[in-house]
């Protein structure tokens, strides 16, 4: 039997994007654009990415190493202010085990010729399967992907 534990943690990531708040917001809101930066690297197996971007709407995606156990992301959007704020809750599973439950917020602020984004996550990591450091690094990697998408193509709402 697995030893049960909880480990609460919070991390904040501030990023600058050379795109307007409307363009950054659209990259979170548009299912086709978000799928280009949020679903993980090419060598991971992926499921269908589903995004219903509205208050009360849901998002889900899964993936993992070929032949390995899948990671499952399931979110509910709690608050959305266009071009300014996104708040969502989500849980992560590794195969059949829930590994964390989180509250995440995305703040978009106009900055000199771009957007300052403040991403805050408050999480409870369950049973020692995942860690705050690993989650923060995964989030940084996803935001790097977002930056690449924003630099390659204009995104409009």
Task: Give the burial class of 118: count Cβ atoms within 10 A of its Cβ; 0-12 exposed, 13-18 middle, 19 or more buried.
Answer: middle
pLDDT of res. 140: 96
157 pLDDT higher than 80: no
Strand 45-46, strand 114-126: pairing:
unpaired
Is the domain covering 6-152 a CATH 3.30.230.10 domain?
Answer: no
pLDDT tens for 36-82 read: 999 765 555 566 789 999 999 999 998 877 888 888 999 999 999 99
Query: What is the per-residue DSSP string for 106-127?
Result: EEEEEETTEEEEEEEEEEEEET
pLDDT value at position 49?
Answer: 87
> Where are the extended beta strands (E) located within 19-127?
45-46, 50-51, 58-64, 71-81, 85-94, 97-111, 114-126
- Do residues 49 and 62 touch, judged by C-beta distance below 8 A? no
pTM for the whole structure: 0.91
Q: Who wins on pLDDT, 85 or 44?
A: 85
Residue percentage of the chain with pLDDT more than 70:
90
Q: What's the whole-number mean pLDDT along residues 18-24?
A: 96
User: What pLDDT shows up at residue 65?
Assistant: 78
């Amino acid at each position: 039997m697995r030893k049960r534990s909880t480990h609460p943690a919070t991390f904040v990531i501030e990023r600058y994007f050379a795109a307007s708040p409307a363009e950054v917001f659209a990259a979170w809101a548009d299912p086709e654009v978000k799928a280009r930066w949020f679903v993980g690297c090419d060598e991971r197996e992926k499921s269908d990415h589903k995004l219903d971007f509205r208050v009360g709407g849901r998002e889900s995606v899964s993936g993992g190493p070929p032949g390995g156990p899948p990671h499952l992301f399931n979110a509910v959007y709690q608050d959305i202010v266009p071009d300014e704020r996104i708040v969502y809750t989500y849980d992560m599973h590794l195969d059949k085990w829930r590994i964390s439950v989180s509250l995440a917020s995305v703040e978009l602020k106009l900055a000199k010729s771009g957007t300052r984004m403040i991403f805050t996550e408050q999480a409870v990591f369950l049973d020692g399967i995942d860690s705050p450091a690993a989650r923060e690094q995964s989030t940084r990697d996803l935001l790097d992907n977002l930056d690449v998408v924003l630099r390659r193509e204009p995104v409009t709402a």
